[in-house]
Amino acid sequence: MANKFVAVFLMCIVVVAAFSLQEAKAAELDKFKGCFSNCGKGCLGEGNGNTFCEKKCDNDCSEKELAEKLNINLP
């Protein structure tokens, strides 16, 4: 009986941890989408092409995201 209780308790911990990770990942994705959207609007407004802006913004936002994770200040 005690073994079943421990097993259920551990499963609950795993489920809670999985949902916590899912929420953190969603928050990161929202931050990237915001950066990408703002960058894209500005880039397209400057008269650049869609493909150029996608590549530029993907690189810029990925660089910012990585720098933030590594606590590096970008110019």
pLDDT of residue 74: 64
Q: Tell me the mean pLDDT per 10 residues along the chain, length 75.
A: 80 77 67 90 94 95 87 69
pLDDT of residue 2: 76
pLDDT of residue 66: 87
pLDDT of residue 75: 61
pLDDT of residue 51: 95
Give how far the C-alpha of residue 71 lies from the chain's centroid of Cα atoms, to the nearest Å. 16
Q: With CA atoms as reference, report the closest residue to 40 among 54, 28, 23, 51.
A: 54
CB count in 10 Å sphere of residue 57: 20
Phi and psi based region of residue 4 (left: phi greater than 0; alpha: psi -120 to 50; beta: remaining): alpha
Global pTM exceeds 0.75:
no
Rounded to 5°, the CA angle 15-21-27 comes to: 140
